[in-house]
Amino acid sequence: MIQSQEDKMNKVKITWNLTPLFNSDNDLNLVKKRKKVISQTNKFVKNWEKRNEYLNNPKILKQALDEYEKWQRYYSTLAQENYYFDLRHSVNQGDPKIKAKVNLADELSQKLQNKIQFFELRVAKINPKLQKKFLAYKPLSPYKHFLEKLFEAQKHLLTESEEKIMNLKSTTSYTNWVRMTSTFLSKEERGGKNLSELMGAMNNKNKGVRDSAAKYFNEILETQVDVAEHELNSVLQNKKIDDELRKYKRADKARHLGDDIETEVVDTVVKTVTKHFDISKHYYELKAKLFEVTKLAYHERNVEYGKIDKKYAFEESVQIINRTLGNLDPEFLSIFQAFLNEGRVDVFPKKGKRSGAFCTYGLIINPSYILLNYNNLLDDVRTFAHELGHGINDELMRKVQNSLNFSTPTSTAEVASTFFEDFVVQELSRQVDDEMKLTLMMAKLNQDISSIFRQIAFYNFETELNRKFRKVGYLSKEDLGALFQKHMKSYMGDYVEQSPGSQNWWTYVEHFRYFFYVYSYASGLLISKSLQATVKNDSKFIFKVKKFLSAGSSDSPKNIFRKLGIDITDKKFWEKGLSEVENLLNETEKLAKKLRKI
């Protein structure tokens, strides 16, 4: 008997099943696993810490790396226990017992990391004259790019003792400062709403509501801007010291190295997008006309155009995603169904559950999990598809990579997520009238503008911010505000007002404290758009997309794409992705003129 879709949905688990990790918080296997992790870490340290022949002989290094890969695969620094309690905490944030478990696991994990970090540090410092010999040794080929990354980092590493000091001082010189500003902001309330709630209210369809929310939001930032001024200057100074110690000539070089992306590629992305800021300016011009205003207030730039009354029950979102994946590739569909049937999606909001959404993985032997806060909205369908994209990426990597290559570089992390999200949005747009289609197209453009152009404006701001700080030694809140508004205007143009108060909006943006990673939103989405366009023209190209999604960190993004016939150092590649955004903008404007005669 063939099961109906409704029968199948009734069997879908809507909360996480964490038993593949541990049966409970007090599972006896937790203690056993912890002892095993500690013993295996100690065993590796005992086997290799006092030896040095693996630094001269590729055959012996192969033995060491095989052991290290096994340790990363099954144990790592208490990864399974950390993973389990992080997931438990995500849906039970108010439970002090779980918080305690998280803290204890983190503490032990740090101790294990300090024990074993000698290995990568020493391998990284293998004599440069021997490095080519090691990389050419065929038995080491599964670890070739892992070694290439370590060798590339060599000139920026300090001694083992100094590296431990760098780890220890990072909390007081960096983390505590960032947490301080974030904590102070999170405690502020105005009009009965906290900062996050006010940010949501600024997108309210009622102008009175959003203007009131913006007034309160700006008051909070004004209250904390002096603290943020000292905090940001302190972390900028800490970064300057770190970069000098590690001999980085550019403030963004450490990020590029950590992300396994060539500086020339990032520079090409940034320059190409900046050159095309006319696209984002054109979008805001269209949005201002649709809202029938001369200019959008700064806080109104993300207000949703139109109205989406339709609700999308979770079951319907599953059907939409099923159709989308079925049209792309049957393996994508089977991975999705496994997430649902195995209880690896926690669907609905509840008290104590963290906000937002994510997809995460632990050890290569552990399943990936998706967290949602599904409210039957169109945006929830998009978010589900986005996080599922990460999940599909994880599962394809897991099938072919070893544990040392089981990761996605930050530079391409958003490719899979936006690839699947955009195809689902297209599926959503198939059976709607022109009014709804205009609303969906404006919503998609808003997301594209925020992910590409805004993030590159952020990157430009960070670049000038670090350069000016290193030149003058301290930047006042007025300096910071003027610099921030300069770069926001650069991509928004004349149709968004740099409203009073917006000069302080750098205060709450955590991106600037994590240094230069914002380019990855733009690069990921533009790569995704280019791949989408190729798949639409040639359905067989999906097999090459799968190769990319399976590659993990087995090679640099530049080389992985080169094998697909794509040169990400060429500005024409990035312009292809930007043309997709511009084409959507032109189609949207054409439809808007038809419906609104603007």
Q: Is the pLDDT of residue 430 over 90?
A: no
**Residue 404 · residue 144 · CB < 8 Å:** no
What is Dmax (Cα atoms) for the chain? Answer: 77
pLDDT-derived band at 60 (thresholds 50, 70, 90) equals very high
| Higher pLDDT, residue 17 or 161 | 17
Under DSSP, is residue 429 helix (H, G, I), strand (E, B) or coil? coil
Average pLDDT over residues 71-81: 96
Residue corresponding to tokens 């030149």: 471
Length of the chain: 598
Q: Is the pLDDT of residue 5 over 70?
A: no
User: CA 236 to CA 233: how far, in whole Å?
Assistant: 5
If we measure between CA atoms, which residue out of 20, 91, 93 comes closest to residue 373?
Answer: 91
Q: Which domains does the chain have, with CATH numbers?
A: 28-157 (1.20.140.70), 178-247 (no CATH)
User: What pTM was estimated for this model as a whole?
Assistant: 0.86
**Residue 512 · residue 232 · CB < 8 Å:** yes
The CB-side HSE value for 51 (13 A sphere, CA atoms) comes to 15
**Residue 62 · residue 322 · CB < 8 Å:** no
The CB-side HSE value for 365 (13 A sphere, CA atoms) comes to 12
User: CA 10 to CA 558: how far, in whole Å?
Assistant: 44
pLDDT for 171 = 82
The rounded mean pLDDT for the chain is: 93
Q: What is the CA radius of gyration of the chain?
A: 25
Residue corresponding to tokens 């502020």: 188
Q: Is the pLDDT of residue 407 over 70?
A: yes
pLDDT for 1 = 36
pLDDT-derived band at 11 (thresholds 50, 70, 90) equals low
Q: Is the pLDDT of residue 487 over 50?
A: yes
Give the Cα-Cα-Cα angle 24, 26, 27 (nearest 5 degrees): 65
pLDDT-derived band at 596 (thresholds 50, 70, 90) equals confident
User: CA 312 to CA 309: how far, in whole Å?
Assistant: 10
pLDDT-derived band at 527 (thresholds 50, 70, 90) equals very high
Residue corresponding to tokens 């002989």: 57
DSSP string, 518-531: THHHHHHHHHHHHH
Residue 418 one-letter amino acid? T
- Cβ neighbors of 202 (< 8 A, separation 6 or more) are 210, 213, 214, 217, 299, 300, 302, 303
pLDDT per position as a tens digit, 225-240: 999 999 999 999 999 9
Residue 278 one-letter amino acid? D
pLDDT-derived band at 251 (thresholds 50, 70, 90) equals very high
Residue 56 one-letter amino acid? N
* The most confident of 106-110, 203-207, 388-392, 427-431, by mean pLDDT: 388-392
Residue 491 one-letter amino acid? Y
DSSP string, 308-377: ------HHHHHHHHHHHHHHH-HHHHHHHHHHHHTT-EE-S--TTPPSS-EEE--STTSPPEEE----S-
Residue 138: DSSP 8-state: G
pLDDT for 170 = 87
Residue corresponding to tokens 């002892």: 35
To the nearest 10 degrees (0 to 180), the angle between helices 378-400 and 330-341 is 100
Residue 50 one-letter amino acid? K
pLDDT-derived band at 320 (thresholds 50, 70, 90) equals very high
User: CA 360 to CA 377: how far, in whole Å?
Assistant: 23
The percent helix, strand, coil of the chain (3-state, each to 5) is 70, 0, 25
Under DSSP, is residue 190 helix (H, G, I), strand (E, B) or coil? strand
User: CA 556 to CA 574: how far, in whole Å?
Assistant: 18
**Residue 118 · residue 160 · CB < 8 Å:** yes
pLDDT per position as a tens digit, 335-379: 999 999 999 999 999 888 888 899 999 999 999 999 999 999 888
pLDDT per position as a tens digit, 98-150: 989 998 998 899 899 989 999 999 999 999 999 999 999 999 999 999 999 99
pLDDT per position as a tens digit, 290-313: 999 999 999 999 998 998 778 899
User: CA 529 to CA 418: how far, in whole Å?
Assistant: 8
Q: What percent of the chain has pLDDT over 90?
A: 80
Under DSSP, is residue 461 helix (H, G, I), strand (E, B) or coil? helix
User: CA 368 to CA 346: how far, in whole Å?
Assistant: 12
Handedness of CA 19, 25, 27, 30 (dihedral sign): positive
pLDDT per position as a tens digit, 346-356: 999 988 888 88
| Higher pLDDT, residue 183 or 459 | 459
